[in-house]
Amino acid sequence: MTYRCALITGASSGIGEAFARALPKSTSLLLTGRDRTRLGQLAGELANAERTVRSIAADLATAEGRQAVIGFAEGQPIDLLINNAGLGYLGPVAENPPERESEMAQINVAAPVELTRALLPGMLKRAEGGQRGGIIFVASAAAFMPIPLFATYAASKAFLLHYAEALAEELSDTPVDVLALCPGATRSRFFERARIARSDNLLPMHEPDRVVREGLRALGNRVVHVVGSGNYLATAAARFLPRRLVAAAAERAMRRWQ
């Protein structure tokens, strides 16, 4: 599908940057993230005669940052919203810094909810003219299971998964498509920020380009898409095995990352 204007959060690197690069050259872009320098470089690189590319540096962990992005998007013909920004932090809940736990909840849960609620009415109105709109929530394969030592991250992604599924049903009779995109381990700065130093040795990594390619193909065709056959099998097993067993197995796996 061709979209007139896309807002991408967490666009300065990883999956967010890959989305910005993958969208058609005719799609105008609104990019947001924390890295002002990188956002500016990316905007300059992707701008062309067919589209405008604008960026705003904002911290979605704060109410001020979220409102700044909403204000930035006001008046723009956004018909594709990509809620990509996300944060994880490895460690026991009782030992993690309280501000990191709160930061995960604000970025992974509050930000997509507030942005979606602010932009959805305009997207629905614009879509009445026949041009479909779309919302992508970048969740995770972790959304399907409780994960000790990654408890808040996994729970926040489970929220996104359920939110996207419920929203998709609410909008099923409208021209706005919703997708929960659930990648597994993806090559990005996520693991460094999450304090996971050994991930390259323990996990097969997908490239951001693959995640984005599959996500854009899935939007409008299904509501949930898990990237990779291995991740799909793991998430399917997690749904049918006893939850206590799944949590215990996840904890053993996570301890290898410490």
Locate all alpha helices (DSSP H) within 47-150, ordered by sequence. Answer: 63-73, 98-105, 111-127
Which residue in the block uniquely carries the two structure tokens 């990654």?
A: 150
Given the residues 3, 89, 157, 163, select the one marked as catalytic. 157
Centre a 10 Å sphere on the Cβ of residue 96 and count the other Cβ atoms it contains.
Answer: 17
Given the residues 3, 89, 153, 163, select the one marked as catalytic. 153
Is 157 considered catalytic here?
A: yes
Q: How many angstroms separate the CA atoms of 58 and 66, rounded?
A: 7
> Long-range contacts made by residues 88-91, C-beta under 8 angstroms, separation at least 24?
88/150, 88/153, 88/190, 88/193, 88/194, 89/152, 89/153, 89/193, 89/194, 89/195, 90/149, 90/150, 90/194, 90/195, 90/196, 90/254, 90/257, 90/258, 91/149, 91/195, 91/258
CB within 8 A of 204, min separation 6: which ones?
A: 185, 230
Is 153 considered catalytic here?
A: yes
- Supply φ then ψ for residue 84, to 5 degrees: -105, -30
In order of 1, 41, 56, 125, 216, the CA distances from 7 in angstroms are 16, 17, 11, 17, 14
Instruction: With beta carbons less than 8 A apart as the criterion, state whether 161 and 224 touch.
Output: yes
Q: Which residue type, as a one-letter code, is found at position 5?
A: C
Residues acting as catalytic residues: 153, 157
